[in-house]
Amino acid sequence: MKLTTCAIGLLCSLASASALSADPINVSSSGSVIGDDVLYSVGGGSAVTMGSAGNMDSISVGGGWSNNLVCGNMNLSNTLENQLNGATAGFQNIMTSVVQNATGAVASLPALILQRSNPALYNLITNGILQARLDFDRSKGTCRAMANRMADIAGEQMGWGQLAEGQAMGKTLTTTPDAVAAVQQVEAQGGNGGVTWVGGNQAGGSGQKPIQIVGDVTKAGYNLLNNRPAGDPSAINKDTCKNGLVCNVWSTPAEASAFATRVLGEKQQQTCNDCPKTVTAAGVGLIPLIQEAYDKKLEALQGLLNGTKPMTAENLNAASSTSIPVTRGVVKALQDERDQDLLAKRLASEVALADVLEKSLLLQRTMLAGSKEPNVAANNLAVQTINQQSTDLQQEIQNLKLDLEMRQQLAKNSPMTIIEREKARAENSRGVFHGDPETGRLNQLQSPKTNQ
């Protein structure tokens, strides 16, 4: 009967140990902790806050600012007609009554005949055209100044369009030396030509690939760190990687880009006239990634503990990170640990934290390398965005560090004091000598009774 009970108990313990639960660490789930001081000395249950989150949806903005080259929509012909016909101020303010008489003459007589038949009227109209031209140039200059001020406030919304316009002007002047014709051609084209982006290709324009700043720069950095062209999309196998820093973590530039955009989000830019200029997607940060890594590390670790997975180097690596390796000795010690469930989960949380932080620091280095790509480095708008994203990532890492340190400090505060005081009381109780409550009672028992 005792053997049967022991066998049932052993089976139940193995079943509970083999349950792959990735729930948050719950101290009460396995009864009282054998070594409470161990629990609080390591900082409590999990290393940092963990939880899941889905990917954020993209948000399109900038539809109202899609006409980035607004000044190119100005029309000189309409300006002249409105000036001479009195529809707008300018020449009308100079000689209103004469303009009204000039309208009919201009409609019926060619300029040469008008000059011969009425030189004064011809000169008046010529001066009116000159005045209208001056007003047009002044208005266009004012529009350009307003656009520049708006670019200072709106930042990338207008800046990318101005960059596309400037590059288009440079290309147009190489084939069209006529300055007036070049300006007209650039204004008609707008931002449809896009800008020069990673690898020297045009992007962001009409029919071109959108500019995905975080993803494209991360891909470029991945390739540059592996001594490849910035736009190479191919994978790197383990033999070619040769223990490389980046290719050991992500086998393709797309994997590195997916990690970056999930953590940091994405900022997509376009310069074409009839498309949204900016499309943004928020990142989820590092906490959901730590939760996902924790689930995988705990599953691998529990497989080693319950014997369902052999203790091979590959299985040990699956439960480890680069900075916190799980060795055979650690697994053996946990197998003999009476509070195995709690400590295994704590170990898995620390390994998951280390794994995600390692990837985050490597992502920072990858983005820094990508920002040195010539076409990216020459684009101050892109460099500013990458620097801001790198700062955000560094802040996320600092928040995790603060969370870890705060948990350790709080867990070592009141809980450890309570446990230490309880231990002190227990030690003191062992040294108390309980004396005889009645003095000389033993002597009285041993002495013979006397008759009273």
Q: Does 300 lie in the same domain as 330? A: yes
pLDDT at 54: 52
Domain count, the chain: 2
Contact 221, 366 (CB under 8 A): yes
Give the pair of three-digit tokens for residue 335: 């197998």
Residue whose C-alpha is closest to residue 358's, from 270, 250, 267: 250
> Residue 34: inside a domain, yes or no?
yes
Residue with tokens 């007036």: 180
Q: Does 404 lie in the same domain as 309? A: yes
Q: Does 129 lie in the same domain as 28? A: no
Final residue of a structural domain among 154, 184, 216: 154
Q: How do residues 335-354 score in pLDDT, each as one tens digit? A: 887 878 888 888 898 899 99
pLDDT at 120: 78
> Residue 143: inside a domain, yes or no?
yes
> How far is 177 from 344, CA to CA, in rounded Å?
74
Contact 277, 160 (CB under 8 A): yes
pTM as predicted: 0.68
Final residue of a structural domain among 97, 127, 154: 154
Sheet holding 265-269, edge to edge: 58-61, 278-282, 265-269, 211-212
Q: Does 199 score more than 70 pLDDT?
A: yes
Q: Does 110 lie in the same domain as 46? A: no
Q: Where residue 3 falls among pLDDT bands split at 50, 70, 90?
A: very low
Final residue of a structural domain among 154, 188, 220: 154
> How far is 303 from 18, CA to CA, in rounded Å?
7
Domain of residue 89 covers: 70-154
Q: Where residue 144 falls among pLDDT bands split at 50, 70, 90?
A: low
Residue whose C-alpha is closest to residue 167's, from 191, 148, 143: 191
Q: Does 47 lie in the same domain as 75? A: no
Rounded to the nearest 5 percent, the helix, strand and coil shares of the chain are 65, 5, 30
SS (H, E, C) 57-100: CEEEECHHHCCCCHHHHCCHHHHHHHHHHCCCCCHHHHCHHHHH
> How far is 330 from 328, CA to CA, in rounded Å?
5
Mean pLDDT of the chain: 74
> How far is 132 from 76, CA to CA, in rounded Å?
9
Q: How do residues 104-133 score in pLDDT, each as one tens digit? A: 555 555 666 666 777 777 777 777 777 666
Q: How do residues 371-430 score in pLDDT, each as one tens digit? A: 999 999 998 889 999 999 999 999 999 988 888 888 777 766 665 566 666 667 667 766
Q: Does 385 lie in the same domain as 346? A: yes
> Residue 198: inside a domain, yes or no?
no
Q: How do residues 147-171 score in pLDDT, each as one tens digit? A: 565 555 555 667 787 788 777 777 7
Contact 387, 394 (CB under 8 A): no
Q: Does 291 lie in the same domain as 400? A: yes
Q: Does 41 lie in the same domain as 127? A: no
90-128 burial string, b = 16+ CB within 10 Å, else e?
bbbeeeeeebeebeebbeebeeeebeeebeebbebbeeb
Residue 282's contacts (CB-CB under 8 Å, 6 or more residues apart) are: 56, 59, 265
For residue 196, the cross-strand partners are 202
Supply φ then ψ for residue 26, to 5 degrees: -125, 110
Q: Does 105 lie in the same domain as 33? A: no
